[in-house]
Structure 1
Amino acid sequence: MAAVSPWSPDTSQPLKMLAIIQLWDDTLADPVDNTNKYFFLLLVKLGLDSVLFITCSHKKYTSFLSVCSLSILLADVLLTCLLAAAWLLGAERSFLSVCFLLANGSATFGALPLPMMFLGSLDYYLDDVWARKHTARWRVLRNVVLTLLVWLQAAVYAARSVSTELVELASAFGPKALVCEVQESSLVTTFILGLFLVSLFALLPFFSSIPRWVKEAETMYEAREKQRGETSDLFLAAPQRRETEASGEKYAESDRPPLWLSLTLSFLVFWMPYLGVSVACLICGFLVPAYVSVNLLWLECTNSFLAGVTFWMKSKTRGPHSNLPESVCLWKIYWHLSQGRQLSQLPAATFDKRSFLV
């Protein structure tokens, strides 16, 4: 897959790329068909998204982004099956061409991030209002309808903007090629790069204290694992309190991480590897079409980011108590870290599995 240019001259338009469908030259009796390579690429994406959906997805679907996760997985299944049919049947017998699938797939997936991020943030911010006024079944139905509308506008955009015609490229010294125009998701690229840079510069002034803060949070997490079966709201057992006090680990008022920094650490502890690898690929010039880059890994990262921002905004009035859906980030533990609490000061409810995850 080759990019037309490293940067699009019009920043409002997605970056165009060329998917090489066939290659041939005078020395080859038959052209080289790359359809199978695109099929296996989508198959790998489908496998990774399936694993993420099983391990990270929220089963109740009362949040908008949880329904979006399911919809992306179903779209992966559909696109992979259609591309498999195009590969097995061949260009002559397939009712949808490979170029049609790749071009429309990239344009459709590329139109998803903006409405999903906007509606997802709105859903989290108004979560308390929805919970009081509407039942869980109504919220699930609302999320399904909104998700269908998001996909509908993406499909309409793709139908009106893409070109599904194969273009022949030829050079005097190289092989000839049939190529198809596909799109990159500029918003996903900008989101990942911006989040990585902002987080990196925000952490630099506190770099020397970060390992100690993360270690303390991990200690709290391990204590939660030990106390998982407890349901009492009393303080932790006295022997554990004495052990903590004997260790001499105490927070000074000036040595606490501010809340925004503590929640940023909670986010980056889990998502920095994904952000770092993605930025490294961007620096190396590895451009990825939207039907690959818009995946459940990006959606879960976005979900954690939006949940963290909402948790931070609501924690000013509600403390660590929140009705946000479960996330891979340990928001409540890092909230207590920002308050400078020792393990012996934390109520056991903090470590209860049902109230711990946000």
Structure 2
Amino acid sequence: MMMVFCENSFLSYFPNGHIFQPSDASGVLLFIMTGKVLLNVFLLCVRRQNLHQSFMGYFCISLALLDLVLLVTMSFISHFQNFMLLGIRFTKYHTCLLAQITAFTYGILHYPVFFVAGLDYYFTFTQPLNSAAVCRRWLYTATVAFTWISALCYVLSLPGSAIGLDVNHYNSAYNCPFYISSQTYWFSLGMLMIMCLILILCWSEIVDTVQSVKVITYESETVLFFPYDPECSPRDCAKHLLARLLICFISTWVPFVLLQMLIVLLGAQIPAFIEMNVPWLYFVNSFLIAITYWMRRRHLKVTEETLEADPFVSWKFCLVPFRCQYIDKAQKSTSKIVMC
């Protein structure tokens, strides 16, 4: 089986991306993938076990599993370097080839994944699914599998981009071009612009909220408590809710917000197979949840499942009004640090 992997033709179908070529591809790939897998596992272990099942949660687990499989496969090929399997000779070139296929596949998935996740929250927050948990698990599993298969089939079916297993391609010149997607850049820029716009429009509400916020413990959680609950018009109440959501989001993800600001300002070029990671997905997940809460605030079904949708941010204290009589009870609860 002899096919040719044409980099220029492949890239021409991704006009918003470009190629980055490292010098020592094999070692760099294994080092990066090891760090990425460890980071994925760490985030999945420290996350809060929430009640709400979601498309994004299942997609994060699938991404972590695929990264682990990719790391094991690349390590196996790099260790043996030159061996035959099913009539195909594998070399170090195929380590790069796997990373290239992964990069192109990951690079086109950001917009579809965020769109599906947004739709999932938009409908389930207002009309929680009454189907059994098993049915929901199968639905999300099938959707995630369809997403991955569709993206991979699209990448492999591009004209002039047949992925070949030709060892001679490696012997000629060992370059390992990595695809750099622009989807994360534009999405990060959009998120930062939205946050800046909220800061401008709700500056007075944010200042009042920050001045009155208290850190308390409630039901074994250390949370941000918002005693500032004025009598206001629907428009002003919407602005106060938006301010509380922004404060909760930034207080949890401030390192990631600063990182996105640096990436956007510096125009950092990050290969697509690195950009698609579990921390990034959960960061966007919290943003999508906050946007959905605000957009559907009048029709939101305030249930325990809805309020526990985020594994990292506790939104319930932004949505459920607390009165002064609950403060004493909250302060007497045992503490377990969970940043709001």
- For the aligned pair, the TM-score class normalised by the smaller chain equals 0.7 to 0.9
CA distance in 2, matches of 1:35, 1:278: 28
2:129 corresponding residue in structure 1: 131
1:95 corresponding residue in structure 2: 90
2:140 corresponding residue in structure 1: 143
Contact 1:227-1:348 at 8 Å conserved across structures? no
TM-aligned CA distance change 1:267 to 1:10, over 3 Å:
farther
Q: Deviations along 1:215-250, whole A, 9 cap, x unmatched?
A: 644x2x51415689xxxxxxxxxxxxxxx9xxxx86
Contact 1:167-1:180 at 8 Å conserved across structures? no
Q: 1:334 aligns to what SS in structure 2?
A: helix
CA distance in 1, matches of 2:276, 2:39: 12
Q: Say which of 256, 269, 280 aligns to 1:287.
A: 269
CA distance in 1, matches of 2:108, 2:221: 45
What's the CA shift for 1:184? 2.2
Q: Deviations along 1:81-114, whole A, 9 cap, x unmatched?
A: 1221222122566636123111101011112222
CA distance in 2, matches of 1:100, 1:288: 18
Q: Say which of 161, 178, 183 aligns to 2:174.
A: 178
Q: Deviations along 1:243-271, whole A, 9 cap, x unmatched?
A: x9xxxx86654697522222122222212
Q: 1:315 aligns to what SS in structure 2?
A: coil
Q: Which amino acid aligns with 1:333?
A: F
CA RMSD of aligned residues (A): 3.9
Q: 1:277-356 residue pairs with structure 2 within 5 A?
A: 277-318=259-300, 320-321=302-303, 323-324=305-306, 325-327=308-310, 328-336=312-320, 343-344=324-325
Number of equivalent positions? 305
1:222 aligns with 2:220: no
CA distance in 2, matches of 1:278, 1:63: 25
Q: Deviations along 1:292-328, whole A, 9 cap, x unmatched?
A: 1011111101211222222223431347546324312
What's the CA shift for 1:348? 6.8
TM-aligned CA distance change 1:293 to 1:227, over 3 Å:
closer
2:21 corresponding residue in structure 1: 19
Q: 1:39 aligns to what SS in structure 2?
A: helix
2:3 corresponding residue in structure 1: none
Contact 1:326-1:357 at 8 Å conserved across structures? no
CA distance in 1, matches of 2:264, 2:194: 16
1:47 aligns with 2:29: no
TM-aligned CA distance change 1:130 to 1:344, over 3 Å:
closer
Unaligned runs of 5+ in 2: 1-6
1:74 corresponding residue in structure 2: 65
TM-aligned CA distance change 1:260 to 1:352, over 3 Å:
farther
What's the CA shift for 1:289? 1.1
TM-aligned CA distance change 1:130 to 1:74, over 3 Å:
same
What's the CA shift for 1:335? 2.9
CA distance in 1, matches of 2:210, 2:173: 52
CA distance in 2, matches of 1:265, 1:80: 37
- TM-score normalized by structure 1? 0.71
The structure with more radius of gyration = 1
Q: 1:316 aligns to what SS in structure 2?
A: coil
TM-aligned CA distance change 1:199 to 1:95, over 3 Å:
same
Q: Which amino acid aligns with 1:332?
A: K
Q: Which amino acid aligns with 1:125?
A: Y
Q: Which amino acid aligns with 2:97?
A: F
- TM-score normalized by structure 2? 0.75
Q: 2:178 aligns to what SS in structure 1?
A: strand
1:261 corresponding residue in structure 2: 243
Contact 1:184-1:287 at 8 Å conserved across structures? yes
TM-aligned CA distance change 1:309 to 1:137, over 3 Å:
same
2:53 corresponding residue in structure 1: 62
Q: Which amino acid aligns with 1:115?
A: P
Q: Which amino acid aligns with 2:266?
A: C
TM-aligned CA distance change 1:181 to 1:352, over 3 Å:
same
